[in-house]
Chain A
Amino acid sequence: MIVKGKKNFLQQFYVIEIARGLGITIKNLFFAPKVTIEYPEERRKYSERFRGMHYIKATNGVENCTACMLCPTVCPAECIHIEAAERPDKEKYPVRFDIDVLRCCFCGMCEEACPKDAIKLSTIYEMSCTSRPIYDKEFLLEQRGSK
């Protein structure tokens, strides 16, 4: 569809209009704030709800997880594998807590399901690596970034 705008006599010559257009671009060149984020030095600010890499929250050096198996149950990608055991004080704890992060779809259901606030998703999003890692408990316990 061709839309024909109304033009007055001077605008039909386009010369003045082109000059005005040039004025707009040069104004943008000098004065407009630039939107580029210079990546390694600056980072994009993500919201607090961002779902990035997992971590296991610990209290006094002991993980909050009680190996209740709610997160592997709810996980749609089936990427959490937990082996439970008992502590001497009869408390349940995970011997192994592996997350196959390549299968993870970062839906955050594990975080929602967890009654102990143990598994959480941080705001870390730089997860590219050269191998295909399965993150274990020691790796996940390290607090690299939290909300």
Chain B
Amino acid sequence: MLPMNLIKEHLPLLLMNPNPEKGNPVLQRNLSRLRHNHVDKMIIFIGMGSCGIIAGANKTKQTIIHHLKNHNIDAEVIDVGCIGLCTEEPIIDIQIPGRTRISFSRVSEDSATEIIDAISNNFLPDANILGQYQNDKLLNWEDVPFMNKLSFFKAQNKILTNHCGIINPEAIDDSIANNGYTGFIKAITAYTSKEVCQIVSDAKLKGRSGSAYLTGKKWIAGLEQAHGTKYLICNADESDPGSFVDRHLAEGDPHQIIEGIAIAAYAIQASKAIIYIRNQYQLAINRLKNALKQAYEYNLLGDNIFNSGFNLDITLKIGPGAHVCGEETALIASLEGKRGMPETKPPYPVQKGLFGKPTVVNNLETLANVPHILRNGAEWFSKIGTENSHGTKLFSVSGKIARTGVIEVDMGTKIRDILQTAGGVPGEADLKAVHIGGPSGGIIDTKHIDLHIDYEEMEQAGLRMGSGSFLVLSEKNCILNLTKYFMRFIQQESCGKCIPCREGSQRMLEILERITQKPYHESGHESLERFKGVIQLESLAKVMQETSLCGLGQYAPNPVLSALKYFRDEFEEHIFDRKCKAGICKGLKSYIIDVDICTGCTVCAQKCPADAIIGTARSPFFIVQEKCIGCGECYEHCKFNAISIK
């Protein structure tokens, strides 16, 4: 165990001196321990992010604690976040004195004890080995690959996620020993607010939430507002389906977020900051709460921080759940206790925001970049990425992919490389498409996966990085079905304030539904409406983009437009041939009764809601295709498997 308060007592030294341990052997030994360069006894790190817990990390942990106690093994168990490789959870790492930290994947209750027994006797278990962390001061495990050489980590540049899954997210000492808060202290002791704004401006950091607005520019506007109460809001209301980047950062390294917020607040001279976080992120909420408490105890928050005269209060507010509250004015309305509806701009929040005071709203991932920029300088940051997009970007990769998880890559990386990092599409099916950026993003086909992750390049291709959701589709997925899914999401989440979004999303959904449903009559009005709708899709999209009040409506047509651009043939196939190649659109399936198998039991005819099945008992039945609505009830209920789908 660490001597009590050792880090707290040496705080100024640790945060302001590049080599704090020089000439202080006690501190050196303890820092080395916190950095895991040197351990006195076995340490077991358990991946306790949301993904790990759902995969069973709690059970694994209980088994381990029980085992250690029963066998009198002297070891410390530490909870860590997720390293980003969610598919391999529960992940545990073990470090014994003198040897490198070694990582094991998919550790069930049974394998946990075997692994611990093997490692404590200094030999390797047979299975579950993932890799070891490179450390020149320690003895390597033979024939175990280094983590940074694994295909999942090779192409990544872990800056924001560097500590996620490595350090204890619930201990501020671990964070400080690993450079935490040095950026903030540097900002308040060495720079004026204006200089901090200038550094971030020079770094050309762009907002990671979707609008890609220059963060430095926003801060300068915030700083220029008259003195008095100002607010800084960290937007962690990550509500795009399929994106879990912010959660990953908040669960794995909450102190990094608090440091980023503190720097931003100092830059605009705000003495109050608010973290607005999604209510479903219980674990992230708990970790942030705990981190805030610790930061106050260390006077890294509160009054007169480090005798600089700067005061900062950070409070945590839990978003009651509305997608539109990702928009800054809607978020502010929600914090004021109103319905979360956006307001017309100007005035911008930076002029008149929360409770009428100047307010700067930054996304959580944007703020997580800030400590690194302060620590390493604007020039360092500008060198990462492309000419116009600097730094790294996190993607939450999911769908039909071998390795689901969070991947951090340099701007300018090819989409293909992200796919490769994530291990490609498993099984026999082929890659069909990648959807980036959730309901306001776009979809691309396999011909365009050499596209680079760059704000401008992606926009030209009709894509948006958005919140960083990266959804992989195989040949067994239907593009129209996904487009419909996102449009239904928008239609449900539209706040209803402006007509283009409220009505437009409803109409778009209707048009898409008409294409994917079986019509009662192929002729006449129904058919005409279907064609008319498709022709109108593009003009409707334009109206929504140009006239919607906020980003939710303006970007809502993106999935449809990009799908029309890259998968036009699939739309035509649905409209003209009435076919869904992937077999997903239930409404377009034809059900046929095999006359040789059908016994005439009448169950299908009884279940059919459209009275489309005719026949007499004890002789084969027949489905009238013109009447069939494609619900599949007959197929589900046939006991003789006489009904086939075409």
> Are A and B part of the same complex?
no
Q: Hey, which bits of chain A sit against chain B, CB under 8 A?
A: none
